[in-house]
Structure 1
């Protein structure tokens, strides 16, 4: 007895109270410890009584509460509970009401699968949505027996491995079951019902451990419209497991290990969206193709398909509305060749049916395609074609098949030229990606018939110079990206590149900006020439249009900017000159930039700066001087600035005395200059999170004691201006009075004269 008691004491300390078996052992041990000796029959009877009492006690008192009860409408509640469900009260009108649609949405945290023991059955019967979290490797979900009104059930991430006894049998009103993110392996006989759940529309078993789907797994779920079996270990589909799911619209089988469809899609004539991504499928059987032709979304990407059957592409147009869009995703396969479409098949599908515009988005990216047949796209009306990351050396197809194409991606191939014949009918092309190829010239002749271009990407090619650009962009404006080429010169004559609004020339070989001649581009508003090799800017360097709004010259090697370098850019609002080698900003550099709002001079080598340099920038609102190592910033020139000017001063060496004075001047309204930082500092010397240098000696400039306090002069000047304005108003008012008197005298004289003549 002593040994048993000691063993029990050790077990009580070591073993957790997780399951009924463990609970029984612990109770038996407790009885042994306290000296009770029971035979097996008495033990069994006593244990049943003790367990029942103890479970009732636990359900009522072990940290069980429902702290969050949100009343969201008439007889509608959203409730959060812990451990079990207790102490819930609803409006009297809602209990057993047929006048209101009662909705009780309960989320139960940290629960065991016996949480319902001791809970009022009538309360359980009112629940319509249940989300429950716990750790139940093996369970029978017995709490569902009393929840006959349940519509939505979410048992997600509960570590469930096995579910026994067909627990859903009484859920006659169920609409949605989500058992995702568990470890369920066997679903045979799991979905058995006393009465068929004709309202059920969605079932998710995603992220489980299912290997096999038996033929009768979903025999009683003919009403469901969405079935998610993704992210499991399913190897094959045999016995037609979906044959009775005639209402199914969405089927997700992606991220499994399926090798063959085996006709499993047979009878799914209402299926609209099929996801088979990340499997091991090598070919598509003809029975499945008959279903695939009805699909709006067919994703079979990331499989092992090598050959495309031409009958894969045509659509059954009579199943779709006009202007429907279908998606065929064949990316990340092993396709090397796209064959000609069969005209016979095409005519068979169109015969005896009204012609409808059913558009297709086709994704063939990340394959090994080396050749496209001329009529490869005849059996569809493509509006989007993605052929990126293949091995194409040319693109020769029937232009009439591409007349509706809006998006064409030919990036990451081996193209060095394009043919006009393939693009001549592409009047609707909006987005064209030709990046990462071997183009030495811009394909403007091939694109001469495309008048709706919005985005053209020619980055990462071998274009060294451009002296013409005979293309037309969309009336709303277009974006052209020529970055990462070897461009050193670009000339766009008048009446070319019509509608070009934004141009990117980053990461090229531009060293002389004078060779970038864009003065005739009247629609160009944004230009990015960052990450080039520009060293110097003078008055003639920037041959850019007057209406340019945004100019980025950052990440160059600029060490000097001459006065009036930007004088032509009178509409410029943003100028970026960061990450260069500027040490001095001369007076007059920003002449003409009266509309500039944002100026970035960060990450340069400017040690001293006079604010009078910025006198021409009347509307400047943001100035970044961060990361320059500034020692001296004379801000007296900003005392007369009309608008608030935010100046970023991260990582500089300005004195704390100067910073304190500048902040005080702004606070008191003497100055509009507002010193700040992008990131406040918490170590070292700082004021308001702005770093500064504590002076160890008086570094006052020799002439400072002879200088006039410009703040006082500015205030006096403003007073004089106000007096002058008032005097002007008084003079104007006096002149108005004099003019009125003269008008009255003139009118009186005219009246008297008329009276004399009348007499």
Structure 2
């Protein structure tokens, strides 16, 4: 008996030793989810080998001791948790990620904070939306030297003190958005040498007057009340790459660190440009810098000197108050590739820059890297040719919802001198200057006339002319780009088939001619490898089946609803159906017979049935006509014979 018991104990020890050595690699349960289970307490039968547990979206109010020695991730978000026993986490030696968001941890601070202090290896903590105030957060962050990521969204913080992160100096990412923060004490973030991401969006910050976070790469200050952002000039290297100052009250461009790594700058939805001219804005920004840094006199243009060194590739200035284009400031950004200047107040882009101090001649500035320029919804009517000349690498130009009128081809403008002679009296735009242009959006510009060779010398791949409801498209308007154009949109122009003249376009793959008055597709498209075509909301009754057959070689998608097709003239539809071309809106398309309108999906199930009666009716009608003709012929013959007999009878009486 003793020998048998000893052998069992030896076996048990061996199993335990194997488990310890292998780290529970055999048949190991890794995670378990009890989310949305209407639980009021943590289940008692949790497997001790679990590494991830999800208890979110339940009704748990109290948390007692958890015996899960291998647990690494615990999600208790969206419960009613307001009391955590002091020893609740003592046995969670491996816990690294803890989500306590959307609870009521503003209660029982003593017990709750002591429970959190017992977690020694915690790397990620989310205590968002708990109604936490400043003192509560300081308690919860005590003894958190291993913390790497912290999220405190939607609490009640009003002030960030220099003691807040004294026990969490290893933090790399901090999110404290949607609070009420109006004050950040000096020394709050500076000691966090590993900090790379800081999100302070949706707070009450009014200004950043001396930015010193050298280590931060991503800074989000959007949706505050920031009026200015100023950095004192020094020789320190700032690692900042993304700065989001959108949805604030900025009047000036930010004065960024002198030596920086900034690549993305978001300034949309501010008040930049309110101060009328660029010169006024720049001088006032420099005066503000001088005041903040206690320099008695403005010794140089700090704004421009710092921007000149900025390796920015993207800037968003949409939804501001610019009435003139800040040519000099933006031309300093020699690495800039994308500029969003939509939804401002520009009427004209005039080449209004200072003359060269030495020669006195007007300077020619350039945007040497700019590829994407968005000028949508500005009210633009005129763009200086000198500005277009500065766009040496432009590929995409969005001019939607303006008043731009394309000029006719102007081959006689060969020299820069003749180009400079175009002034405000010439209210059209010469697109031929943009040799690198590939994508042009002229939607909703109230264009009156598209002249021949309008886009000659460009490299257009896509062109959007939609919404110019009174536009006349002259023959040859697309000459010069017919070999490069791949996408063309000419919808909502009130065109008839006689108005639409398209050349052979051997590269065209997408065509949108919807919302017009067309009744036929131009035959010139037979040489285009169209993959997508949109003919919705026109006057089509039928389509040329030989043209459709030619197009079907490449065609993948066709939109046809909103027309009034003849069901019994549908050879084109049969071709598309048999070749399995995607008619994405066929369930909304109808065709008609002499009797009624039919949804095309129903018609395709048995087209012969719907047209059989139509055919028979035609045959019956033809027979009826023959009978009527024969009947009339017989009646007339009888009348003629009867008349002759009457005449002959009367003649015999006279004799």
| TM-score of the alignment, normalized to the shorter chain, above 0.5 | yes
The correspondence for 2:223, drawn from 366, 378, 382, is: 366
Q: Tell me the residue number matched to 2:564.
A: 653
**SS of residue in 2 equivalent to 1:456:** strand
Equivalent residues in 2 for 1:577-592, closer than 5 Å: 577-586=490-499, 589-591=501-503
What is the aligned counterpart of 1:339 among 206, 209, 227?
209
- Contact 1:663–1:675 (CA<8 Å) still a contact in 2? no
Task: Write the distance in 1 (CA, Å) between the matches of 2:237 and 2:139.
Answer: 24
Partner of 2:380: 487
Which of 248, 266, 280 is matched with 2:122 structurally?
A: 248
Q: Secondary structure at the match of 1:447?
A: helix
Assess if the C-alpha contact under 8 Å between 2:143 and 2:168 holds in 1: no
**What is the CA–CA distance in structure 2 between the aligned matches of 1:675 and 1:289, rounded to whole Å?**
59
Shift of 1:211: 2.0
8 Å contact 2:175–2:200 — kept in the other structure?
Answer: yes
The match for 1:432 is 315
In the alignment, which of 598, 605, 609 is matched to residue 685 of structure 1? 598
Q: What is the Cα deviation at residue 215 of structure 1?
A: 4.2
Aligned residues of 1:306 and 1:335 also touching (Cα < 8 A)? yes
**Is 2:480 aligned against 1:535?**
no
Q: How many angstroms does 1:647 deviate by?
A: 5.3
* CA deviation vs aligned residue, 1:308-337 (integer Å, no higher than 9, x gap): 2232332544xx4xxxx7111111011112
Q: Does 1:501 align with 2:395?
A: yes
Shift of 1:574: 0.9
Are 1:263 and 1:287, in contact at CA under 8 Å, matched by a contact in 2? no
Which residue, 126, 131, 150 being the options, matches 1:257? 131
Alignment of 1:542-581 (within 5 A): 542-543=454-455, 545-570=457-482, 571-581=484-494
- In structure 1, the residue matched to 2:419 is none
**Counterpart in the other structure of 2:520:** 609
Whether the 8 Å CA contact 2:589–2:600 is kept in 1: the answer is no
Residue 647 and residue 300 in structure 1: after superposition, are their counterparts in 2 closer, same or farther (change >3 A)?
A: closer
1:670-709 superposed matches below 5 A: 676=583, 678-681=585-588, 684-687=597-600
Alignment: residue pair count: 524
- Using the alignment, how far apart are the partners of 2:198 and 2:252 within structure 1? 23
Q: For 1:519, what is the secondary structure of its paired residue? A: helix
Matching residue within 50, 56, 60 for 1:180: 56
Please say which of residues 283-292 and 686-695 is displaced more in the overlay: 686-695
SS of equivalent residue, structure 2 residue 164: helix
Which residue of structure 2 aligns with residue 228 of structure 1? 99
- Mapped to 2, the partners of 1:246 and 1:673 lie a distance apart of 62
Instruction: Determine the C-alpha separation between the residues in 2 that align with 1:369 and 1:641.
Output: 57
Select the structure that is richer in strand. 1
Shift of 1:663: 4.0
Write out the 4+ residue segments of structure 1 that deviate beyond 6 Å after TM superposition.
95-104, 376-379, 638-642, 665-668, 672-675, 690-698
Aligned equivalents of 2:582, 2:509: Cα separation in 1: 16
> Shift of residue 688 of structure 1?
5.3
Name 1:395's counterpart in structure 2. Answer: 253
**1:407 and 1:432 in contact (8 A); partners too:** yes
Alignment partner, residue 462 of structure 1: 345
Q: CA deviation at 1:155?
A: 2.4
Distance 2:41 2:601 in 1: 61
Residue in 1 aligned with 2:36?
A: 157
Cα deviation digits, residues 536-589 of structure 1 (max 9, x gap): 32315x3454311000111221453221111121311111011221123347x2
The structure, 1 or 2, with the larger RCO (C-alpha pairs under 8 Å, 6+ apart) is 2
Matched position secondary structure for 2:187 = helix
Distance 1:666 1:404, change over 3 A: closer
Structure 1 counterpart of 2:164, from 288, 293, 303? 288
Preserved contact between residue 400 and residue 425 of structure 1 (Cα < 8 Å): no
CA distance 1:673–1:535, change in 2 (3 Å):
farther
Hey, what does 1:268 align to over in structure 2? 144
- Following the alignment from structure 1 to structure 2, what is the Cα–Cα distance between the partners of residues 502 and 228? 44
* Equivalent pair of 1:621/1:644 in contact (CA under 8 Å): yes
Alpha-carbon shift at residue 488 of structure 1 (Å): 1.5
**1:416-464 residue CA offsets vs partner (Å, 9 max, x unmatched):** 0464526524442122111111112222311223232232111110111
Cα distance in 2 for partners of 1:473, 1:191 equals: 64
Distance 2:231 2:97 in 1: 39
| Residue 518 (structure 1) aligns with | 431
Cα deviation, residue 408, structure 1: 0.7
Unmatched tracts of structure 1, length 5 or more: 1-94, 105-125, 130-150, 347-356, 699-759
Give how far 1:280 is off: 0.7
* Mapped partners of 1:544, 1:409: distance in 2: 35
User: What are the Cα deviations for residues 267-318 of structure 1, in whole angstroms up to 9, with x where unaligned?
Assistant: 211101000000111122333232454311101110111112232332544x
Please, what TM-score do these two structures have when normalized by structure 2?
Answer: 0.71
Q: 2:240 matched to 1:330?
A: no
Provide the secondary structure at the position in 1 that maps to 2:432.
coil
Deviations 1:139-161 (A, max 9, x none): xxxxxxxxxxxx53432222122
Q: CA deviation at 1:480?
A: 1.3
Query: How many Å separate the matches in 2 of 1:652 and 1:288?
Result: 67
Partner residue, 2:295: none
Partner secondary structure for residue 165 of structure 2: helix
Quick check: 1:279 aligned with 2:279? Answer: no
Q: 1:404 aligns with which of 249, 261, 282?
A: 261
Instruction: Name the CA distance, whole Å, in 1 between partners of 2:343 and 2:585.
Output: 34
- Are 2:542 and 1:627 aligned? no
**Aligned alpha-carbon RMSD (Å):** 3.7
Matched-pair contact (CA < 8 Å) for 2:318–2:341: yes
> Could you tell me whether the CA contact under 8 Å between 2:511 and 2:534 is conserved in 1?
yes
Q: Is the 8 A contact 2:548 2:572 kept in 1?
A: no
Matches within 5 A, 1:190-229: 190-193=64-67, 197-229=68-100
Asked if the contact 2:489–2:513 (Cα under 8 Å) also holds between the matched residues in 1, the reply is yes
8 A Cα contact 2:446 2:471, kept in partner: no
- Structure 1 pair 491/630, CA: closer, same or farther in 2 (3 Å)? farther
